[in-house]
Amino acid sequence: MFTLSALETEAVLLSLRVAFWSVLISLPAAIAVAWLLARKRFPGHIFLNGLVHLPLVVPPVVVGYLLLLLLGRNGAMGAWLWDWFSITVAFTWRGAAVASAVMAFPLMVRAIRLSLESVDIRLEAAARTLGAPPLWVFTTVSLPLMAPGILTGAMLAFARGFGEFGATIMVAGALPSTRTIAVAIYTYTETGQQEAAAAM
């Protein structure tokens, strides 16, 4: 009978928690960026598109290191969060969620953007001619039509966040309180004593 120990169950639950929050953190920004890339043309369009897809080509450990510099207690954003809200991100499960969100962001943006580009702009134009303001057009016409892309992007981001390792171990470490499934497997195999636990 396949059973999980308490530590293994904790790693699974933490991975689910990290993946869920990584999607929740990145979804609003992903929709906004996807809309910007699909519907607008501006001088920095290519630069923004490249920046969004950067986590796909840069090694995850490098992304994690940059996030650690930013979110650490002495980092630009980490110091501000600590001084104003007494919140620590680095070496907590929140850091793992942020790292997973950053790594999954390109996948989410791409899926949503492709879905938005398939929406007929004539439908949006028709709604505007009837007097609907831009935000109302987006929420009542564009958003429902791009829902499949949003769902696909959220599922891809969840799966990516669930299995994220490189950036997560840099930002959150391999502490018992931040040990996701991927980090737990790495920790077990690194010791050379618990290969059976890693295989489970």
For 127-170, what is each residue's pLDDT tens digit? 888 888 888 988 888 899 999 999 999 999 999 999 999 999 99
Amino acid at 44: G
Mean of all residue pLDDT scores within the chain: 89
Contact between 7 and 175 (Cβ < 8 Å): no
Q: What is the band of 1 on the pLDDT scale with cuts at 50, 70, 90?
A: very low
Residue 200's pLDDT is 54
Q: What is the band of 110 on the pLDDT scale with cuts at 50, 70, 90?
A: very high
Alpha-carbon 98 to chain mean position? 7
The residue whose two tokens read 């992304």 is 63
Q: What percent of the chain has pLDDT over 70?
A: 94
Task: Give rounded-to-5 percent helix, strand, coil for the chain.
Answer: 80, 0, 20
